[in-house]
Amino acid sequence: MTTVKDAQKQAESPQPADPDRLRQLAEEAGRALEDASALDVLRWAAETFGPRFCVTSSMEDAVVAHLASRAFPGVHVVFLDTGYHFPETIGTRDAVAAVMDVEVITLTPRQTVAEQDAEHGPRLHDRDPDLCCALRKVRPLEEGLRGYDAWATGLRRIESPSRADTPVVGWDEKRQKVKISPIARWTDADVEAYVAEHGVLTNPLLSDGYASVGCAPCTRRVAAGEDARAGRWAGFNKTECGLHL
């Protein structure tokens, strides 16, 4: 019988762990860590997966990267550079790399925006955002995560109905990896308190009417009372880029 200890041992090795063992580990840890603090969840991830664990960040803020750097100094922070980011987002990434004890890994799509325009026509994001996200986000992340057994996100349950059931530790069936959302239970006030207490870097656009920051062509400011993600892909029946589906 596979035990948690066996799965942890395999996950700690430099080779990819067996998916069945990782799945069992995710299920057991999901139950055990549901009420744990975000820092304790990340300490568990660091001890369990070591260098086969990374954090992903959209550079909306650096809360999870900051937490992870406390649990695992030098942790890899993976950023998807779609070629469509606001300058403020790239600036936030560069500031995180400069001042935090993390290693920022920037992933890029196979094609530049110009190459994509040549193949699919300009402004694919206006005509087929699902395909654009698949090419510029989903595929690069799948390729970039191949060297890891577990990844952490900044997903929070209150962000949108589609994120309401986000587990703190779960199984990413699509990528066959452990998916960790250490601040899944956090409220907006929890985030603000952590940012204030630790002086965490945040994207300047959050102070300029944007409640959620994604690619520039697909992000607008939100009005008072609107859902935080209402400014993403406005006009489309789309709320997620596919990274978390």
Closer residue to ligand SF4 in complex, CB, 26/218: 218
Active site residues: 241
Asked if 136 is part of the footprint of ligand SF4 (rule: CB under 6 A), the reply reads yes
Contact residue for ligand SF4 among 65, 133, 152, 169 (CB under 6 A): 133
Could you tell me which residues come within 8 angstroms of residue 85 by beta carbon, excluding any fewer than 6 positions away? Answer: 59, 215, 216
141 is a contact residue toward ligand SF4 (CB under 6 A) = no
54 is in an annotated binding site: no
Q: Which is nearer to ligand SF4, 8 or 58 (CB)?
A: 58
Which one, 136 or 156, has the nearer CB to ligand SF4?
136
**Helix H or strand E encompassing 105:** strand 102-107
Size of the site for ligand SF4 (CB under 6 A): 13
Q: Give Cα separations from 122 to 21, 65, 68, 117 (angstroms).
A: 44, 34, 38, 4
Paired tokens of 28:
């057991």
C-alpha torsion sign, points 106, 110, 114, 117? negative
Residue carrying the six token digits 């002086």: 199
Q: Does 96 bind ligand SF4 (CB under 6 A)?
A: no
**Which lies closer to ligand SF4 via its Cβ, residue 70 or residue 244?**
244
38 near 181, Cβ under 8 Å? Answer: no
Q: Which residues in the 164-223 window bind ligand SF4 by CB under 6 A? A: 214-215, 217-218
Mark the segment that binds ligand SF4 (CB under 6 A) among 63-71, 95-103, 129-137, 192-200.
129-137
Query: What single DSSP character describes residue 59?
Result: S
Q: How far apart are CA 38 and CA 133, in angstroms?
A: 29
Selected range binding ligand SF4 among 100-108, 131-139, 153-161, 221-229, rule: CB under 6 A? 131-139
Alpha carbons 55 and 78: distance in angstroms, whole number:
6
In terms of CB distance, is 10 or 239 closer to ligand SF4? 239
Q: Which residues of 15-34 are buried (b: 16+ CB within 10 A; e: fewer)?
A: ebbbeebbbbbbbebbeebe
**52, 125, 156, 157: which one contacts ligand SF4 (CB under 6 A)?**
125
Known binding positions for [4Fe-4S] cluster: 132-133, 215, 218
Return residues touching ligand SF4 (CB under 6 A). Answer: 82, 84, 125, 129, 132-133, 136-137, 214-215, 217-218, 241
